[in-house]
Amino acid sequence: MKEIDIRPASEADFDAMWPIFQEILATGDKFPFEDGSREACHAYWFGPAAKTFVAVLNGGRLLAMYKLVQNQAGRGAHVASASYMVSPAAQGVGVGKLLGRHSLEQARRDGFLAMQFNYVVSTNVGAVVLWKKLGFEVAGTLPKAYRHQKLGYVDAYVMYRLLDDPNEWRQ
Amino acid sequence: MKEIDIRPASEADFDAMWPIFQEILATGDKFPFEDGSREACHAYWFGPAAKTFVAVLNGGRLLAMYKLVQNQAGRGAHVASASYMVSPAAQGVGVGKLLGRHSLEQARRDGFLAMQFNYVVSTNVGAVVLWKKLGFEVAGTLPKAYRHQKLGYVDAYVMYRLLDDPNEWRQ
């Protein structure tokens, strides 16, 4: 029986995180930054302000990771943001949904009142559909804001949800 | 005759920028961060990625400043963002509009294809009206994303415009 556990990331996870980071960036269709180096990966996942979690299969293979951050300082510090990467080899089996729910629970537990994604590539349909399922709305469309590796300039979405009704993501 | 000149900021401007920064933050109705220290001010206006300009009256008094940045790295690096502060003593006389136009021209000259404001406080009506005049649209509304000093949680806007038609801000 397969079991997926989500737990805080540690330095020991880094060697398994880096190849996923590289694979995801190489697609050129989800994230803005293009530098897939070890240093860039480490700064991204273990930077000072990030709270990072990993999804692990049967206590072994690392499938995915996400990080939770404040989207703004001070007067905007009650809004969280998060970023997710699922290993291409583990896509399509619901890991993203597990991470999404976990991050919403975590954000709520940490006292955040809302969650905002600043930059969801509109052609990343899997992500857009998943976030809608978890109660997010497209708060705004940013015309041609993403230079997609294959499609050229495409729109990006700002997605947002308040965290006042957890039933919306728990079902 | 009064003349307002906009030019690149230098370290020599810093002593005049700091009090404006402090005054603006003290209002608690425009910016998220609340730390008005010299260090925070310097990091904000002279950080590595910022291109900062000041508006100066008759070659003397510093009235306002703005900075231009990339809104995202890599695949989002063609979208600029900017941030503006006008001295409370110089508000209502059109300095913001001068800065806004200057920043749009500068962004276009620097090769950006669009300009995005990530976090315009909805109750900052002066700013919202000005950006609309300069061709920006409210791309999205972020419910309760700003903790206003007097009003509590209020919405923030994401505002956006493509830079393909400069006539829209030059008139």
A-to-B residue pairs, Cβ atoms closer than 8 angstroms? 121
Owner of token pair 């960036």: A25
- pTM (two decimals): 0.95
Q: Nearest-CA neighbor of A90 among A150, A43, A24, A9?
A: A24
Reading chain A (171 residues) residue by residue, the pLDDT tens digits are 579 999 999 999 999 999 999 999 999 999 999 999 999 999 999 998 889 999 999 988 999 999 999 999 999 999 999 999 999 999 988 999 999 999 999 999 999 999 999 999 999 999 999 999 999 999 999 999 999 999 999 999 999 999 998 888 887
Q: What is the structure's pLDDT at B168?
A: 83
- Minimum-distance CB partner of A34 among B75, B78, B79: B75
Asked if residue B136 lies in contact with residue B100, where contact means CB atoms within 8 angstroms, the answer is no
The verdict on a CB contact (< 8 Å) between B142 and A75 is no
Name every residue in A having a CB less than 8 A away from some CB of B.
28, 31-35, 71-79, 113-114, 116, 118-119, 138-149, 153, 156, 158, 160, 162
> ipTM, 2 decimals?
0.93
Predicted confidence (pLDDT) at residue B44 exceeds the cutoff of 80:
yes
Q: Which residue type sits at A86?
A: V
List the domain boundaries for chain B: 4-162
Asked if residue B45 lies in contact with residue B52, where contact means CB atoms within 8 angstroms, the answer is yes
Task: List A121's β-bridge partners, or say none.
Answer: A156
Q: Which residue type sits at B113?
A: L
- Minimum-distance CB partner of B119 among A32, A76, A145: A76
The verdict on a CB contact (< 8 Å) between A72 and B139 is no
- Write down how long chain A is: 171
Distance CA A68, CA A48 (A): 12
The shortest C-alpha distance from A105 to chain B (Å) reads 19
Q: What is the structure's pLDDT at B49?
A: 85
Q: Which CATH superfamily is domain B4-162 in?
A: Gcn5-related N-acetyltransferase (GNAT) (3.40.630.30)
Q: What is the structure's pLDDT at B66?
A: 98
Distance CA A11, CA A23 (A): 20
- Minimum-distance CB partner of A140 among B75, B76, B158: B158
The verdict on a CB contact (< 8 Å) between B162 and A144 is yes
- What would the pLDDT profile of A156-169 be if each residue is shown by its tens digit? 999 999 999 888 88
The shortest C-alpha distance from A30 to chain B (Å) reads 9
Asked if residue B114 lies in contact with residue A146, where contact means CB atoms within 8 angstroms, the answer is no
Distance CA B48, CA B50 (A): 6
The verdict on a CB contact (< 8 Å) between B119 and A162 is no
Locate the DSSP E strands across B15-136. Answer: 51-57, 61-70, 79-86, 114-121
The shortest C-alpha distance from B12 to chain A (Å) reads 28
